[in-house]
Structure 1
Amino acid sequence: MTTVGQILKKQRESKGLTLFDIEKQIKIREKYLRAVENDNWGFFTSKIYIVGILKNYSRLLGLDSKKVLAFFRRDYDRHDEIKFKERISLSNLTSESRRVFKIIIIMSFLAIFLYFGYQLKLFFLPPKIIILSPSKVNFTTENKINITAKTEKDTMVLINGNREYTNKNGEIEYDLFLKEGTNKIVIELTGANGKKTVVEKTFTKKSPN
């Protein structure tokens, strides 16, 4: 059965386009496009990200975005159905297992309650970002540095005007090519609550004496 990833890849190749060509036109990194073409939905942390990419990608290729999304939902729903079929029936458990299972259920509800309480608190706050690496800002021989940062789930991230997506660990990776002197990046965050944060980071490259 044809998948949405196969449809997009076939259409792209028929137009003689590479993933890098697509990246330049819709400002979505090649690794995310490759994950879509491979139907690797586990690469993403949110269904919202996938839908957004599919809309932009299909429109660029001249495909009907509604039909493409219909193929995606079919594949996605089938995945959910498989997980549902693998759930354990409570009637098949022993009395001791049922007791443990009920405790797990109670703990799960408690965890959900605490989670939503925490999310409610976050709703009133602008998104935050933590720069994990690099730990220094001054460089001498490096021509390129990899910037790794972490932010909240479902936060829209723009780095120097380009849309970036978090990986399954909630981290963002961005390659910055260094030129002699000052190199600045501007990180714009928009949270699910619509609140925004702008962070500027400067890196300096000086030739060794």
Structure 2
Amino acid sequence: MSAVGELFSQKRKAKKISLAKVSHDLLVKQEHLDAIEKGQWANLPEPTFAKGFIKIYAQYLGLDTSKILPLYRREYDETKYPHKQSPLQIKKRLMITPNKFALLLFIVTIAIFASYLLIQYFSILSAPKLEIISPPDDLTTSVPAITIDGRSEKEAMVSVNGQFIPIDDQGKFSYQYKLTQGKNTIEIIASKRLSPKSKVTRLVRLSK
């Protein structure tokens, strides 16, 4: 325990006053009063406030502040105080100025634009979706023609066994396909520029 802290502790105990009462009377946190009595100066707020606490605590106990403060200064080198940011300093750092807001807006705009480009890039490089609604696979029929219904992407080109077929602005298509006797393998392909192809195969048997 430090010499200064010992003076406070002895005087308080001699007066039979608890730290809790001192804290209540002076409106100073008990942990700060405890740090003063133990000489744990680094646990106190910055030196300006620490000296204020020491002064009012000394006056409260009837100690001579003209002697206490010099003892404190000899005991503790304030230049070694681990500077902590006050709430005011933190608030000032967090305050958004017009320049900071403009910079933030610029960064957000760039991020949104970059995200859009990435989405478009991967959309171009990804295979187009292709869904065949009819006919079902492995179908046997006696009708010599079937309707191939499906949907893809409106930017895609769709072909049936190498024959390109029209597609509407919603990506839907419908195509009449003539069957030959026996097994018919129908290959439907959707393709886009620079993208892999999507392929669906249907097996249809024409029976007599």
Asked if TM exceeds 0.5, the reply is no
TM-score range, shorter chain: 0.3 to 0.5
Report the TM-score when normalising by structure 1.
0.38
Larger Rg: 2
Q: TM-score, normalised by structure 2?
A: 0.39
* Higher RCO (Cα < 8 Å, 6 or more apart): 1
